[in-house]
Amino acid sequence: MGEVPWRATPGCLSVVVRVTPRGGRDAIDGIDRLSDGRAVLKLRVRSVPEDGAANEAVRKLLAKALCVPTSAVRLETGATARLKTLAIAGDPAVLAGALAAACGTEKT
């Protein structure tokens, strides 16, 4: 697909996601492109976007997919928006590989 929605930073992986709250299930739906061409990781969560419930569901979904504790996933930007940036603590190369596998693209 070319560009991926994550980038390595010292000690973590920064990921741009587009979240669909009330999506019927908690799932990673792959990589998509915004109208401006930026790549985003598509996520859906069952939670409603109230009182941070959807943000917490996103953190748990990414933590489970990457086999890291939920505390390793931190919301950087977009607390009240569908587009969010999250930082995941750990080895960026390992996390990028796991994320690529979780969304069906083996290349990073």
- Structure confidence by residue, pLDDT tens digits, 12-36: 999 999 999 999 999 999 999 999 9
Task: Report how far residue 69's alpha carbon sits from residue 46's, in angstroms, rounded to the nearest whole number.
Answer: 20
pTM of the full predicted structure? 0.91
Q: For the domain bounded by 6-102, which CATH number is listed?
A: 3.30.1200.10
Q: Where are the domains of the chain?
A: 6-102
- Structure confidence by residue, pLDDT tens digits, 31-88: 999 999 999 999 999 999 899 999 999 999 999 999 999 999 999 999 999 999 999 9
Task: Report how far residue 108's alpha carbon sits from residue 101's, in angstroms, rounded to the nearest whole number.
Answer: 9
Query: pLDDT category, 104, cuts 50, 70, 90?
Result: confident
pLDDT of amino acid 1: 46
